[in-house]
Amino acid sequence: MPLLTFSADFGIDAPDADAFAEAVAEHYAEEMQTETGHVAVSVDADPENHLWLGRSTGGRHLFLDADVRRGRDQAQKRAFALAVIDLAGEHFDVPEANAKVVFTEHEGPQMMGANRVGGEWSPEEE
């Protein structure tokens, strides 16, 4: 039951944000061994956002705060982070150096939807 929150310092129209969110959810499901039905993606894109990153090469920035259930290994998280960075470049011309992904892990029951309270994740869940 992840919540994937993107911040961007450039505008994104609704159809492009939707296409990006869907691609992100699909990559998340693939890398994290789950389904897309409970993946939540938020895209906060506004030229008035002020994002700074020390290694930035100038131009657009896109940051992801990924709130996820505990249990995925480092390789899964790294593969998803790299996929997001690639998607940011493909969809919005964000330079690799200007993208950042941060994971915050939660116990399963801390993640809730209207009809579900998350459980602990295990590799057999897929």
Q: What structural domains and CATH numbers belong to the chain? A: 18-51+60-111 (3.30.429.10)
What's the rounded Cα separation, in Å, for the pair 108 and 57? Answer: 37
Please report the pLDDT score of residue 45 as a whole number.
Answer: 97
For 43-52, the pLDDT digits (tens) are: 999 999 999 9
64, two tokens: 């992801």
Please report the pLDDT score of residue 98 as a whole number.
Answer: 98
If we measure between CA atoms, which residue out of 106, 111, 99, 105 comes closest to residue 6?
A: 99
Q: Are 27 and 80 in contact (CB under 8 A)?
A: yes
Please report the pLDDT score of residue 122 as a whole number.
Answer: 64
7, two tokens: 């911040």
The three-class DSSP label of residue 119 is coil
Dihedrals φ, ψ of 42, to 5°? Answer: -120, 130
Determine which of 15-19, 36-40, 85-89, 118-122 has the lowest per-residue pLDDT on average. 118-122
What's the rounded Cα separation, in Å, for the pair 43 and 95? Answer: 18
